[in-house]
DNA sequence: GCATCTGTTATATTATAACTATAACAAGTA
DNA sequence: TACTTGTTATAGTTATAATATAACAGATGC
């Protein structure tokens, strides 16, 4: 899987890693049970520190996206992606609220916003 | 206008300020031309430093949401909120992408996501 | 057994961001 | 003149992000 980092971005590297791996899972490019590179390998390939990769993996593990076997390595959660927990839904609302508010303040029509969401959804989904 | 800060949040205070003022504008609770408290007054009311408020105001000014008159004070942009510039649309896409990707990875149905967006849109809009 | 690879832990350092604390300045108003 | 405005400057503290090394424990391959 190809990962591209923007080292100039104000989004932390480990966050970019988490986001792109989640994107990979959403799109199906990362299949359940599929192994991910070791922290050292990925860090080496990306030219970053192993701890930065480890932090991303820990967050992904914490949210149930991956499994980490002590000496086997890292694999995408084989069965059952994380659920729509109440905490997640609350977080989702909190993330969306300021974004939607800004679109309204800029006079963006609701249809236009919905269209954008649907376009991104199609881009990111399987198929 | 009532502003409530979460000092425990990992969202910076100045960002919370920006978001809530934009929400106020979106909802119509803050009307064009309406004056905002001085940096010292707002900082005092919220129990934070004047520079934190100033940073929020500078960001809002930079995006065209408010006007700052050197000695008159701060007012909500009297006419013409900021437009749907290409830069903003690009930023909007970048903000939405990881959020939508996560919802897909968690098997959230597209309809469910759209419904949530519409619900928030209704909550945040005027009327 | 031994080297090698895994994630993990520990420690230290650097750089930057966020926030606060004071102080002072320039310009307009009461 | 006194006061308020945003603005600028300087400094200090705290937390986060990222890096650099090193070492450890457990599993695998030869």
- Judged by a CB distance cut-off of 8 A, whether residue B90 touches chain A is no
| Residue segments in chain B with a per-residue pLDDT below the cut of 50 | none
- Give the tens place of pLDDT for each residue, B87-115: 999 999 999 999 999 999 999 999 999 99
- Give me the pLDDT at residue A80, please: 78
Strands B35-36 and B73-76: antiparallel
- Give me the pLDDT at residue B55, please: 97
| Residue A1 lies inside a defined structural domain of this protein | no
- Give the tens place of pLDDT for each residue, A22-64: 999 999 999 999 999 999 999 999 999 999 999 999 999 999 9
- Give me the pLDDT at residue A1, please: 87
Indicate yes or no: CB of A26 within 8 angstroms of CB of B97.
no
User: C12 C1' – A51 CA distance, angstroms?
Assistant: 14
Question: Is residue B70 domain-shared with residue B19, that is, in the same domain?
Answer: yes
User: Does residue A70 surpass a pLDDT of 80?
Assistant: no
User: Does residue A127 surpass a pLDDT of 70?
Assistant: no
**Among residues B21, B60, B104, which one has the least CA distance to residue A65?**
B104
CATH code of residue B70: 1.10.10.10
Domain boundaries, position B97:
86-124
Question: Is residue A68 domain-shared with residue A93, that is, in the same domain?
Answer: no
* Residue B41: CB less than 7 A from any atom in strand D: yes
The alpha carbon of residue B115 and the mean position of all alpha carbons in its chain are separated, in whole angstroms, by: 22
Q: Which residue has the tokens 């919370």?
A: B16
For the stretch B78-105, what's the b/e string if a residue is b when 16 or more beta carbons lie within 10 angstroms of its beta carbon?
eeebbeeeeebeeebeebbebbbbbbbb
Question: Is residue B72 domain-shared with residue B91, that is, in the same domain?
Answer: no
Question: Is residue A39 domain-shared with residue A57, that is, in the same domain?
Answer: yes
CB-based contact A83:B106 (threshold 8 Å):
yes
Residues 6+ apart with CB under 8 A from A8: none
Question: Is residue A69 domain-shared with residue A98, that is, in the same domain?
Answer: no
**Among residues A8, B65, A30, which one has the least CA distance to residue A18?**
A30
Q: What is the ipTM for the molecules in this complex?
A: 0.92
Question: A72 CA to chain B: closest CA distance, Å?
Answer: 24
* Residue B29: CB less than 7 A from any atom in strand D: no
Contacts B102 to A, Cβ<8 Å: 22, 26, 92
Distances (CA, A) of B104 to A24, A103, A121: 11, 22, 8
**Burial of B68 per CB tally in 10 Å (0-12, 13-18, 19+):** middle
């Amino acid at each position: 899987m190809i990962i591209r980092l923007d080292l100039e971005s104000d989004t932390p590297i480990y966050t970019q890693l988490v986001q792109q791996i989640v994107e990979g899972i959403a799109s199906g490019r990362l299949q359940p049970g599929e192994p991910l590179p070791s922290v050292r390998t990925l860090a080496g390939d990306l030219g970053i520190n192993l701890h930065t990769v480890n932090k991303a993996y820990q967050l992904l593990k914490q949210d149930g996206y991956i499994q980490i076997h002590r000496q086997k390595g890292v694999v995408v959660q084989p069965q059952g992606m994380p659920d729509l927990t109440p905490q997640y839904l609350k977080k989702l609302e909190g993330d969306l609220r300021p974004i939607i508010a800004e679109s309204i303040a800029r006079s963006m029509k609701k249809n236009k916003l919905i269209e954008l969401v649907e376009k991104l959804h199609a881009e990111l989904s399987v198929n």
